[in-house]
Chain A
Amino acid sequence: AQKVTQAQTEISVVEKEDVTLDCVYETRDTTYYLFWYKQPPSGELVFLIRRNSFDEQNEISGRYSWNFQKSTSSFNFTITASQVVDSAVYFCALSEGSGGTSYGKLTFGQGTILTVHP
């Protein structure tokens, strides 16, 4: 069975600090997909980034970057120069797939509450 663990329950930073959110996953599949979602106080989950298991290349997109390491089953997410508007709950999620097509069903971690103070 697949499992996602976000060990950090809450993180508090001051604006402009960099912050890294940790995610560790478990799966028996060799093909899988990893995601990060943001849930602001309004409640709607907002898609941020995704990565498939074939590609360990780490990327940067604006203020977001991620570090995917299959050897440690980790998919960490970094926000550079945090802003107050980044305050939200962040979820890491996993879906298993085969043949290049995701099975779709997402397994979420418990979330990390990020508070960015002015």
Chain B
Amino acid sequence: DTGVSQDPRHKITKRGQNVTFRCDPISEHNRLYWYRQTLGQGPEFLTYFQNEAQLEKSRLLSDRFSAERPKGSFSTLEIQRTEQGDSAMYLCASSTSTTGWETQYFGPGTRLLVL
């Protein structure tokens, strides 16, 4: 199995710009999660997909954030009109729910810095 991959690994942008991150899950994993991690904190849940359906979104996910998972494969997370407070590590994880015993496997993350 290849692991979860994320692209880019690092992104520096200016306030007000839009950014998009991509996550490729482990093949055949039907669930995909996005988390955000700020310095010194644990990851916080943002949203998750089962196949192509977005089933839950956190209150942390403002209107400037949108996530998609077309065809139930890779996912993108877009942040519009970035703010300095969006600076964080964005983590993607995938899992399979078919066994009823779910473990999430994480990608290396995308570190975003908003200037």
Binding site for B on A (CB under 8 A): 4, 33, 35, 37, 42-47, 50, 52, 91, 93, 95, 100-102, 104-111
Question: How many A-B contacts if CB must be within 8 Å?
Answer: 64
Q: How far is the CA of A110 from the CA of B41 in the complex (A)?
A: 5
The 10 closest A-B pairs by CB, nearest first: A108-B42, A45-B106, A102-B102, A101-B100, A44-B108, A100-B100, A105-B45, A43-B109, A108-B43, A110-B42
Contact (Cβ within 8 A) B40 A110: yes
Residues of B contacting A91 with CB < 8 Å? Answer: 42-43
B48 contacts chain A at the CB level, 8 A cutoff: yes
B91 contacts chain A at the CB level, 8 A cutoff: yes
Q: A106-B43, A110-B40 are in contact. List 5 more A-B contacts (CB 8 A).
A: A37-B106, A47-B106, A102-B100, A106-B33, A106-B45
Residues of B contacting A50 with CB < 8 Å? Answer: 103
Q: How far is the CA of A76 from the CA of B35 in the complex (A)?
A: 24
Chain B residue nearest to A46 (CB atoms) is B106
Dominant secondary structure at the A interface: strand
Residues of A contacting B95 with CB < 8 Å? Answer: 104
Contact (Cβ within 8 A) A105 B108: no
Contact (Cβ within 8 A) B107 A101: no
Number of chain B interface residues as a range: 20 to 34
Contact (Cβ within 8 A) A104 B102: yes
Contact of B106 among A4, A44, A52, A107 (CB under 8 A): A44
B105 contacts chain A at the CB level, 8 A cutoff: yes
Smallest CB separation, A93 vs chain B (Å): 8
Contact (Cβ within 8 A) A111 B104: no
B97 contacts chain A at the CB level, 8 A cutoff: yes
Contact of A108 among B40, B44, B48, B89 (CB under 8 A): B44
Residues 44-78 of B at the A interface (beta carbon under 8 Å): 44-45, 48, 56
Residues of B contacting A108 with CB < 8 Å? Answer: 42-44
Known A-B contacts A43-B89, A110-B41; the reply to A105 vs B107 at CB < 8 A is: no
Interface string of B75-106 (1 = CB under 8 A from A): 00000000000000101010101001111111
Contact (Cβ within 8 A) B33 A109: no
Residues of B contacting A37 with CB < 8 Å? Answer: 106
Smallest CB separation, B47 vs chain A (Å): 9
